[in-house]
Structure formats: structure tokens, C-alpha cells
Structure 1
């Protein structure tokens, strides 16, 4: 009774502030507990329920290669799609030597070349197979930070063709068989450059292409979730791969193997996710700052990358 009397005696504006503050605190605690459950306690789904085969684009290096090994470990047969036949042969042999029971088919496809011809070969290869999981991992970025007007025609075309057209057409080729069986999972790889970071100067075409992948995935998620198809966009930040030119993994930089292991646990859940929790934490910190503050920092960082890239390029020409 004394507590009720105390609150009744307070001015209305103070009660409103107290209510708003309480709601904010409860929301923060709920978000914290939910995130802890998602990243550390929530079990991954049985990926074999989608089908016995997984198709991965860009599986010869980095995240794609790590995905291939992780999926093979879980007992899924693989269709590997990449442009280099020798690398495809090497990664297939490496997987078979470790997981001898796994069946592996390969498709040679240059995403910077004739995509329609490559998609045709994919369709022929997967005819009659239960493709349960599609991972659209093939993609390229800039060799180093560049102003938009400095990007040559070849790089400009490839950034759009590989990241946008390739992802779209491979999905279009694989989706119908999933719909017939009313089950399947599609994972499209976006980037923190599209979702977690307010702007990504000097990588404008790459950021724009990955933003397309993000929105494309969200739309498909809504279109097909009632048809038994789980479409997901994964949004990593820094991973130690050839594409990012980062050599060593660290707390904030995931190794390809570390990323792939946690990424598989997220398949079948959120429409968009950042599986590696330090990346999610980094994104939350960035979003807490005003955009102008982060932009100032990011411009300086990218200009330093550009300076080093131009110096390295000039040395190659000498």
C-alpha cells in the first residue's frame, strides 16, 4: 500500500518517464537473453531433413570450401560449382579422403562468363537429385578500395554479374525441385557492407550488389515460407579469406572453418542472420554510434587501404 501511495503522489511526467525506462530495461534484458540463447544454446536443425544433397557455389576456397567440408561431415552429398576444374578436383578428393561415404558431383561454371550455359549444366547435373540445401556463396569484391569512377568496366560487370545475376539464376534453377518436394533451404551470402554498416564507401558496387542479395532473400523468404522452403540471407563481417585479403583469424575476424561451423546452426531459422557472434556484437556497437562518426572513421580506413593497393599495383607494373 505504501508503494502505491508513493507512486500516486508523484507527478505524471515522472511516472511516464519511469514507465518508459522500465520498458526499455526489460526490452534490453529480453534482447540480451534471446541473443544468448540463439548464439550459445539453440540447437541446429537436422539438415538432412531438407534432402540428401547440398549444392554449393564457390566451394574451392574460403567460406564455400569450409561449408563443403561441414556439410559432408553431416552426411550430405555434394554438388560443387566453380570455374576451375583442377581446384574442383582437388577439393573433391580432399573431402572424399576424409568422408569416403559422401557422393560428390562437380559442375564447371564461370560466373563471369556465360551464366546461362553454366545454369544449364547445373540443371542437367541435379536432374533427379534431392537438392535439399543451396548455398549461394560465389562472389567477388574489389581488389582494394576504389572511388566509383576508378572501377574499370571488367570489374564493374563482374561485380554485378557474379554477385547479382549468378545468385539469382542459380536460385531460379534449383528452387523448382524443392517446391515439388515442399522442402528445402536456400542460403544467400550477403555482407556486413550491405546490412551491418551504415555505408561502405570506396566499395559502392559491391555494397549495392550485396544489398540486392539481402532484399532478394527477404522477398523469397516471405514468398516461399508456406511452401516448406527456408530462405535465409547470412550477413558476415570480416572472415580471413582471399577475397577479404585478411590472412589471420582473430576474435573479430572469423576463420572460414569457424564461420561455416556456426553458420550451419542458423539454417532454417531467421530470414536474415549474422551467425558469428563477434560480428553481431560489432554490428550492434556500430549502430550505437551516429552515422557521421562511423563514416569519418570508415573513410579514413578505406583511404588507407586504397593507398596501399595503389602502391602494390604500381610495383607490379614496374
Structure 2
């Protein structure tokens, strides 16, 4: 006798339970998607929609810019002048300083400009930069006396003239890199930050480098990368120290920009002009303690973060060795077994 299955019995049968591992997997996936979407939208806002702060109103009428005669420093000075700030320009070449002054006054006729001739790489009388370095910092302090200085842009930087193994870098070269990137930047900040903290407002922008943040190592430019790591850590620590005193300290991380310090030649959509970079840099002032102002640089950082450290290290080592060997050939020198 055949059995008869009643439709109602089928309807009443309980559905199989969804496995808990599947529920957990979906939850994790949804959470990751929400986090990714939020991060992407926040990046879009930072890169394209977030307005720059009113620097004069928020911080003060005057800005000090070091390394102001070329590249990023010159472009930032011009951009700040267009935004209504008066300038104290610091550089080692009086002729170039005079030229930038003329450019600033042409771009922003109402801008007041003072200059300080100061070679940040000048040897000192002691290991922490006495002598000319101390006198240069004193000249900067004298130039800003009585001014409402609201912004310091520590832009001046130094690197090797060419890629080299650590033991090959002449003492005069790596010591100058240390003086400019570490000692001078620190001393100038110490000269200006106390007045900012006392009045309860101010901003410091220290220019770092992708060599100390974006890649895990920067072989054949070791001292330069190490000094920029110092700049990054100093900036983030000072941000915590002085935020509640109204002083915003920030490390801006450029990758390659079309300046005379950049070893990259040729056109690339990822290498902005100093003027293009400066617009993005000024718009970022006063926000995060560490930022990558130029949006295409942040894309490069994202893709670099997807690669293993070993791959990035091998790539940077090969790039450094190739540049070193090219320079050795140009100079007619032997490599003494290093390649």
C-alpha cells in the first residue's frame, strides 16, 4: 500500500538551521565592507571635499617658511601669501630670497615679507649645532619678535647628492643632512612654539618623506630616511603635547615632487609640480598629525601597503644600487666589489 504525503505536513516541516559559521562569516564580511566603505568615503572627503582652514583667523597673521627659495618651500610661501598671510622667509641664498620676495609681492601685493639669511647646513661648534646654527636660529627669533606668528613650515631639507652605501657617504654629507633635517628643524621649532603655546594658538608643519613611512626601508639613503623618521615621530609626539595648548603640529608626507631634490626624471601623473603639491599641502594644515597631502601619493601608499616588506625592500635596494652604479660610471670610479 502506497504511502500518501500530505502537503500540509511538508509545510509544517522545519527548515534546516543556518550554520553558525556561515552567519559569522557574513557578519565579518559586512563589517569589513562597512569599514572599507567608510575609509574610502573619508579619504574622498579629505582629498577633494574638505576645505582648508582659515589660517590667519585661526592661527595668526605671520608664517615662517624655511627652505623658501626653491621647490616646495617657495611654492608654499606663494600659496600662503595668496591666502593672506605675511611671511618670514628663511634661506641660505640672499639673491634667491630677494627673487622670491619679488614673486610674493607680485602674487599678493598686500603681503609683508621679511627675510633671514641662514645656512641650516653650516657646521656648528659642537655636536648639537652650536656656532653658525645657533646664530641663525637667533636671527630667526629676532626677525619674528613682536609679530603674531601663527604658522611655522619646517620645509628645509637635505639629502645625499647620489645613492651610496652607508660607509661610502662622506662625513661632511651625512652630518649636513643631520644638521638640516634634525638639528635645525628642532631648534627653529623650539624658538617659535613657546610663543604659540603662550597665546593658545599656532600650527607647525614639518615636512617628512615617504622614505620613512611608505616603505619599510630606504637603502642607500639610510641617514636621510632616518632623519625623516625622526621628523615624523617628533611631529606626532609634539601634536599630543601641544594640542591642548591650541598648537596643531603636523608631519606632511610627500612622495616624489618635481623639485631639484627628486631623483626621478620625466613626466608622471604621480609626480606633481611644487605649485600643485603646495595647494594640497596648505589645504591640509591643522588637521591630522600625519597626512599625505597629494591624493595621488596616497594612492601609491595604498598599493605599496599591499606588498610584503621583503618585496619593497628588494625593489628599493635594486633602485638604489642602480642609481649608485650609474653615478660611479659617470665619475669613472670603481665600486670596490659592491654592486
1:180 aligns with 2:189: no
Query: What CA distance in whole angstroms lies between the structure 2 residues aligned with 1:225 and 1:59?
Result: 27
Which has the larger Rg? 2
Deviation of the 1:228 alpha carbon: 0.7
Question: Which residue of 138, 152, 170 maps to 2:156?
Answer: 138
**2:285 aligned counterpart, secondary structure:** coil
Runs (5+) with no aligned partner, structure 2: 1-13, 123-131, 334-339
Work out whether residues 55 and 133 of structure 1, in 8 Å CA contact, stay in contact via their aligned partners in 2: yes
Alpha-carbon spacing, 1:107–1:282, altered in 2? closer, same or farther (3 Å): same
Report matched runs for 1:283-302 at 5 Å.
Answer: 283-302=301-320
Q: Does 1:22 align with 2:53?
A: no
TM-score where L is the length of structure 1: 0.94
User: In the aligned structure 2, how far is the partner of 1:10 from the partner of 1:256?
Assistant: 58
- Report what 1:107 is aligned to: 116
CA distance in 1, matches of 2:326, 2:39: 40
TM-score of the pair, normalised by structure 2: 0.88
Aligned 1:222-301 pairs, distance under 5 A? 222-301=240-319
| Equivalence for 1:121 | 139
Q: Which residue of 223, 239, 254 maps to 1:205? A: 223
Q: 1:59 aligns with which of 57, 68, 81?
A: 68
Cα pair 2:160 2:174 within 8 Å, conserved: no
- 1:41 and 2:56 aligned: no
> Is 246-255 or 197-206 further displaced after alignment?
246-255
Report Cα offsets for 1:142-166 as digits up to 9, x if no partner.
1121111111100110111110001
- Check if 1:90 corresponds to 2:108: no
5+ residue gaps in structure 1? none
Match of 2:211, SS? Answer: coil
Residue 6 (structure 2) aligns with: none
- CA displacement, residues 15-68 of structure 1 (integer Å, 9 cap, x when unaligned): 222221211111111111110111111111001121110000000000000001
Aligned residues: 310
Tell me if the contact between 2:60 and 2:151 (Cα under 8 Å) persists in the aligned partners.
yes
Shift of 1:312: 3.0
Measured at CA, do residues 106 and 314 of structure 1 come closer, stay the same or move farther in structure 2, by a change above 3 Å? Answer: farther
| SS of 2:212 mapped into structure 1 | coil
Instruction: Tell me the equivalent position of 1:304.
Output: 322
Native 8 Å contact 1:51 1:132 kept in 2:
yes
Which whole-Å CA distance do the structure 1 matches of 2:104 and 2:268 have between them? 26
Question: Structure 2 vs 1, CA of residues 212 and 269 (structure 1 numbering), >3 Å: closer, same or farther?
Answer: same
Q: 1:33 to 1:54 in 2, by over 3 A?
A: same
1:275: Cα distance to partner? 0.5
Query: Given the superposition, is the C-alpha separation of residues 88 and 247 from structure 1 closer, same or farther in structure 2, using an over 3 Å criterion?
Result: farther
Alpha-carbon distance in structure 1 between the residues aligned to 2:306 and 2:17: 36
Task: Find the counterpart in structure 2 of residue 217 from structure 1.
Answer: 235
Deviation at 1:306, TM superposition (A): 1.2
Distance 2:302 2:329 in 1: 34
Aligned to 1:170: 188
Q: Helix, strand or coil: the match of 2:90?
A: strand
Cα distance in structure 2, aligned partners of 1:256 and 1:112: 23
